[in-house]
Amino acid sequence: MSPPWRLFADHLRLTVRLTPNGGRDAFDGIETDSEGETYLKARVTAVPEKGKANKALIALVSKSVGVAKSSVSLVSGETARKKILRIEGDPEDLAQKLEKLSG
């Protein structure tokens, strides 16, 4: 199974499936969809209105990998459950931190 992230020169792209109103802010491991694409499952307590759940996801990811919130941005999926995040920083270091989170 391939990881739900791709490494680039100065950043990493992470595919996430977000569950808003999830009862807690946490990651729930990695899953594969019907097309064989992997994603990191995440849940947040925030509601899915006016970008609150997306902001909570960015806060959760930034805290978990040790980067500033400004280093995490939403590339696609603003209103969808499946999202792609861009995380600025050393891609190898970020991948190692995500590996620990998802395991």
Q: Average per-residue pLDDT in the chain?
A: 95
pLDDT per residue as tens digits for the range 54-84: 999 999 999 999 999 999 999 999 999 999 9
Q: By the 8 A CB rule, do 26 and 42 touch?
A: yes
Which CATH number do you get for residue 41? 3.30.1200.10
Domain range for 43 is 3-100
pLDDT over threshold 70, residue 103: no
Number of domains in the chain: 1
Sequence-distant (6+) residues with CB within 8 A of 6 are 12, 13
Q: Going by DSSP bridges, is the β-strand pair 82-88/72-76 parallel, antiparallel, or unpaired?
A: antiparallel
What's the whole-model pTM score?
0.95
Supply the pLDDT for residue 101.
Answer: 80
